[in-house]
């Protein structure tokens, strides 16, 4: 397995880094401020943990999926799943983005001791993401709401290890769930052993931190309270009111590494949560593992979550969106590989060939 200098070359210099944060905090060579993640000094360790956990170094995702979700029915569009639900919280939570589902799942995790510690991403200013470990259900609210800026939150795994956490729950973006699985897959001997339950988020892309400067310039003196993407464009709510930003304008700030992501719905998570596009105030939940099912059932049984059957046409729409992302980014990946970026997936594998065919079929 290669080491840090290969990671620097293959991932950082090639601008394919997803900013998941899995390589941080163990290593004294890799440093981060805001969305800059670099090798601050040259490392010559030949066999690096960093390279082995990175979601942008070569990975057989099918094998990892088979390891962690062996019994789950496979699906090429949105990954392995048992069932998709339309869900919302029975009681609203301060700052919730859509249906408040994630906050209630986390609350259930802690109350029912499915994990003692949860990795969440909060914010102090409604813009800047700040990953943190939660040991107290009262702190969950601090993480309510979506973060749009990329944040290397998976770095906190090291803190959890140092704290000798036995059971950890992770709420993360698809790249972070990928890294989390890769970490377990490649580093199964890593001490101390930690049992992990993962709550994956839907994600189309993350923004670079220069978006903050853009907002400051667009709305000088205003305090951002909330950001979201409802049906039309990108909406920023500030203390002075609501502003619509053209989505194309916002998309200029997408992190380059996000254009190589094939996962919209956190396909390797135990349970995935995203928006329900057809109706405001609801979430989409994809249950993918026994563990995920157990957590979801508990949250519903406790009365925290209200769940409905998922409309068939909405499921098709969701799958279409997911395939759309996969197809677009497969093209970006192909172009990057053509330009000399070190291949991090086998584009000829069955899974990706199928995606291509499906996408072609959708266009037809």
Partner 1 sequence: MEWMITADEPGKTYLMQGNEAVARGALEAGIRFAAAYPGSPSSEILTMLGHVADKMEMYAEWSTNETCALEACLGASFARVRSLCVMKQNGLLVVGDALHSASLSGVKGGLVMIVADDPSAHSSTNEFDSRHQAKSAALPMLEPANIQEAKDMVKWGYELSEQLQQLVMVRTVTRINHGRSTVTLGQMLAEKPNPVTIGEWDRMVAINWFKDAQIAKLDQAQEIFEESPFNWYKGPEAPEIIIITCGTGWLYSSEAVEALGLNEKVGILKIGTTYPLPEKFIVKHLLNTNKVLVVEEVDPFLEQNIAGIIAYHPELNIELLGRCGQKTLPRNGELNPDIVRNILASLTGKVFTGPEVAVIPPEEATPLPARELTFCAGCPHRASFFLLKQTLRIHEGQGVVMGDIGCYTMGGQRAGHYLYNFLCCMGGGINAAEGMGQLTRFGFKQPVLALAGDSTFFHSCIPGLVNAKYHDSNMLFVVLDNSATAMTGFQPHPGIGLTAMGKAAEPISIQKVAEAIGCQVTVADPFDISGTTEIVYKLLKQPGLKVLILKQECATLAVRKRKKPRVWVDQDLCRGDECGCGRFCSRIWGCPGNIWDYEAGRAKIDEVVCVGCGVCASLCPAGAIKIEGGGADE
Positions that interact with partner 1 (CB under 8 A):
3, 26-29, 31-34, 36, 38-41, 43-45, 47-50
Q: Are 74 and 66 in contact (CB under 8 A)?
A: no
114 contacts 198 by C-beta, under 8 angstroms: no
| Pair type for strands 129-134 and 195-201 | unpaired
218/350 with CB nearer partner 1: 218
* CA proximity to 254, closest of 35, 21, 23: 35
Closest by CA position to 20, among listed 67, 57, 64, 48: 57
Q: How far apart are the first and last CA of the chain?
A: 43
Shorter beta-carbon distance to partner 1: residue 8 or 291: 8
Neighbour count for residue 354 (Cβ, 10 Å): 14
**Beta carbon of residue 219, minimum distance to partner 1 (angstroms, whole number):** 19
Q: Identify the residue whose tokens are 């897959």.
A: 185
Pairing of strands 195-201, 167-172: parallel
Which of 6, 98 has the CB closer to partner 1? 6
C-alpha dihedral sign at 60, 37, 272, 247? negative
The minimum distance between CB 40 and partner 1, in angstroms, equals 4
Residue 27: CB partners within 8 Å, gap ≥ 6?
Answer: 4, 43, 48, 49, 50
Q: Which is nearer to partner 1, 82 or 185 (CB)?
A: 185
As measured in angstroms, the least distance from the Cβ of 61 to partner 1 is 24
Neighbour-count burial of 213, counting CB atoms closer than 10 A to its CB (0-12 exposed, 13-18 middle, 19+ buried): exposed
Q: Which is nearer to partner 1, 33 or 363 (CB)?
A: 33
43 vs 102 by CB, closer to partner 1: 43
Shortest gap between Cβ of 290 and partner 1 (angstroms)? 33
CB atoms within 10 A of CB 138: 10
- Tell me whether residue 49 or residue 147 sits nearer to partner 1 (CB atom): 49
Taking the complex as a whole, the smallest distance from the CB of residue 213 to partner 1 amounts, in Å, to 8
Looking at beta carbons only, is 122 or 208 nearer to partner 1?
208
Q: By C-alpha distance, which of 99, 16, 13 is closest to 55?
A: 16
Q: Is the peptide bond before 81 cis (omega within 30 degrees of 0)?
A: no
Cβ 167 to partner 1 shortest distance, Å: 24
Comparing CB distances to partner 1, the nearer of 42 and 113 is 42
Please say which residue, 185 or 337, places its beta carbon nearer to partner 1: 185
For strands 224-228 and 36-39, give the pairing. Answer: unpaired
Q: Which two tokens stand for residue 52?
A: 């082995």
Distance between CA 53 and CA 120 in Å, rounded?
A: 20
Residue 46 Cβ vs partner 1, minimum distance, rounded to whole Å = 9
Q: Min. distance of Cβ 274 from partner 1 in angstroms?
A: 31
CA distances from 113 to 117, 167, 200, 294, 323 (A): 9, 9, 19, 12, 36
Distance in Å, CB of 34 to partner 1, minimum: 8
Q: Work out how close the CB of 42 gets to partner 1 at its nearest, in angstroms, rounded to a whole number.
A: 8
């Amino acid at each position: 397995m290669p080491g840090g200098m290969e990671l620097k070359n293959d991932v950082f210099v090639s601008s394919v880094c997803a900013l998941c944060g899995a390589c941080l905090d163990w290593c004294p060579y890799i440093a981060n401020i805001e969305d800059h993640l670099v090798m601050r000094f040259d490392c010559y360790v030949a066999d690096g943990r960093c390279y082995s956990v990175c979601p942008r170094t070569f990975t057989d995702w099918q094998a990892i999926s088979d390891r962690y979700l062996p019994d789950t029915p496979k699906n090429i569009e949105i990954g392995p799943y048992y069932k998709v639900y339309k869900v919302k919280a029975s009681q609203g939570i301060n700052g919730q983005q859509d249906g408040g589902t994630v906050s209630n799942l986390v609350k259930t995790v802690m109350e029912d001791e499915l994990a003692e510690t949860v990795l969440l991403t909060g914010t102090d200013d409604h813009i800047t993401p700040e990953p943190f470990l939660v040991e107290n259900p009262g702190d969950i609210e601090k993480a309510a709401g979506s973060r749009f800026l990329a944040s290397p939150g998976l770095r906190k795994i090291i803190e959890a290890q140092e704290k000798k956490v036995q059971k950890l729950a992770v709420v993360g973006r698809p790249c972070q769930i990928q890294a989390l699985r890769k970490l377990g897959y490649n580093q199964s001997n890593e001490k101390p052993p930690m049992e992990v339950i993962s709550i994956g988020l839907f994600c189309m892309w993350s923004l670079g931190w220069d978006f903050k400067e853009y907002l400051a310039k667009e709305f000088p003196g205003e305090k951002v309270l909330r950001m979201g993407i409802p049906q039309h464009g990108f909406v920023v709510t500030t203390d002075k009111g609501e502003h619509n930003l053209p989505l194309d304008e916002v998309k200029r700030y997408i992190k380059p590494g996000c254009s190589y992501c094939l996962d919209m719905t956190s396909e390797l998570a135990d349970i995935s949560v995203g928006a329900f596009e057809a109706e405001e105030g609801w979430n989409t939940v994809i249950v993918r593992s026994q563990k995920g099912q157990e957590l979801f059932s508990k949250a519903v049984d406790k009365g925290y979550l209200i769940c409905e059957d998922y409309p068939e046409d909405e499921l098709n729409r969701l799958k279409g969106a997911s395939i759309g992302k996969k197809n677009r980014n497969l093209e970006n990946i192909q172009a990057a590989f053509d330009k000399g970026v070190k291949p991090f997936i086998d584009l000829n594998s069955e899974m990706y060939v199928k995606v291509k065919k499906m996408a072609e079929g959708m266009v037809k």
